[in-house]
Amino acid sequence: MGRRPLAVFAWGLLIVAPMIAMFVAMLPALASISALSMEAGAETGEMPPELVAEMMQLQAASMLANLVQLLVMAVVYTAIMRAVLRPAEKSVFSLRIGMDEIRVAVVGLAIGVGLYVVIIMATLLGMGVGFAAWGSRMEAGPGVALAIVLFLVLLIALGWALGRVSLMAPATVLYRDFGFAQGWRLAAGKGWALFGLMVVILLLFLVFEIVIIMVTAALGASLVVVASNAGIDWSAADPFAEASAWLGANWYWGVVFVALAGLVAGAIATLSVAPFASACRQLADSGPRDEASPAPAA
C-alpha cells in the first residue's frame, strides 16, 4: 500500500462506487415508500399496490447493484493480484477488463459454490448424526460431546480446505490460465500456514472494524445533529426527501465520506488479496517447475 497509495485509493473508490450510487438512488425511492406507508397506515392499515410495486423495484435495484459490485470486485481483486504478480505490466492502477478478470471471476464463483456445497453437506451430515444419536437413545452428555467433536473436525477440515484453495485466484493471474490445479499444487503442504494467514488478516480486520464502527457512529451522530439543527424533521412523513435535499446542499460532506470510504475499502481489499498473491509468487519461484503448467508470467 505504501508503494502505490493512489492505486489503493482508486481500487477503493471502485469498490464503494456501486454502494454509493445505490444509496443516492435509493433516497427518492425510500421517500416515496415512506410517504405511501404513512398514507396507507393512516387510511386503511393495508399495504397498497403502489407501495408493493415501489418495494419490489427497490429490491430489484438493490440486487442489480450487488451484482455490479461483485463484478467490480472481480476487476479490482485482479488488479491487486496483477500489481503484485506482474508489476512490470503498464496500465492505469493495474486495472483492465479482459480474460484475467473473467478467469478470476469464474474461479472465485467456483470456489464459493464449492464451499457452499461442502457446508450444506456438513450440515446434513451433522443432522444425520444427531438423528442417529437421538434414535439410539444416547444420553445427553455423550451426545453433546459427539456434537462438539464433529463440529471441531468439520471446522478444522474447512480451515485446511480454505488454505488449499486460497492460491487458486492468484495462480490464475500468475499463469494466465484457470489456476485450479496450479493453486492447489502451490498450496500443498502450506494449507495450515495459509489458513493462519487468513486468521491473522481476519483479526486485523476485526480491530480495524471496531475502530471504523466507532468513527462512523460518531460521524453519523454528528451529521444527524447538524442536519437536525438545519431544520430536518426526522419524525415527518417524508424525512428522506428532506435528507436528500440537505445532502444536495451540503455535498462536500458526501465528498469527504466517499474519500474516506475509498481509502478504507482500498486498504481492506489490498490487505485481503496482496498477501496471498505474494505467497503465490514466492512459492512459484521457489518450487520445482511443473512442465504441464504454463510458465508464470513475468
Query: How far is it, in rounded angstroms, from Cα 270 to Cα 5?
Result: 11
pLDDT at 90: 82
Instruction: Give the residue among 67, 57, 85, 33 at the shortest CA–CA distance from 237.
Output: 33
pLDDT at 34: 65
pLDDT at 274: 95
Q: Contact at 8 Å (CB) between 162 and 198?
A: yes
Rounded to the nearest 10°, the torsion over CA 193, 199, 202, 208 is: -100
The set of residues, in sequence order, having a beta carbon less than 8 Å from that of 198 and lying 6+ positions away, is 162, 163, 166
Q: Contact at 8 Å (CB) between 123 and 36?
A: no
Query: How far is it, in rounded angstroms, from Cα 160 to Cα 190?
Result: 9
**Which residue shows C-alpha cell 478467469?**
103
pLDDT at 58: 75
pTM above 0.75, yes or no: yes
What sign for the dihedral angle of Cα 64, 70, 72, 75?
A: negative
Q: Contact at 8 Å (CB) between 186 and 283?
A: yes
Q: Contact at 8 Å (CB) between 267 and 12?
A: yes
Burial of 258 (0-12, 13-18, 19+ CB in 10 A): middle
Q: How many CA atoms lie within 13 A of 262 on its CB side?
A: 18
CA angle 2, 100, 60 (to 5 degrees): 90
Query: How far is it, in rounded angstroms, from Cα 25 to Cα 31?
Result: 11
Q: How far is CA 281 from the centre of its chain?
A: 24
Three-state DSSP string of 235-263: CCCCHHHHHHHHHHHCHHHHHHHHHHHHH
Could you tell me the three cell numbers for 200?
Answer: 491473522
> How would you write the pLDDT of the chain (298 residues) with one tens digit per residue?
557 789 999 999 999 888 888 777 776 766 666 666 666 555 555 666 766 777 787 788 778 888 888 899 999 999 999 999 998 888 889 999 999 999 999 999 999 999 899 889 888 887 887 777 777 666 666 767 777 888 888 888 889 999 999 999 999 999 999 999 999 999 999 999 999 999 999 998 888 878 878 877 777 677 666 666 666 555 555 556 666 666 667 777 778 888 888 898 899 999 999 999 999 999 998 866 655 555 565 5
Domain layout of the chain by residue ranges: 5-286
Could you tell me the three cell numbers for 100?
Answer: 484475467
Query: How far is it, in rounded angstroms, from Cα 108 to Cα 6?
Result: 26
Q: What φ, ψ does residue 26 adopt, rounded to 5°?
A: -75, -25
93: helix, coil or strand? helix
Element (H, E) at 120: helix 99-135
Query: How far is it, in rounded angstroms, from Cα 89 to Cα 44?
Result: 64
Q: Contact at 8 Å (CB) between 169 and 105?
A: no
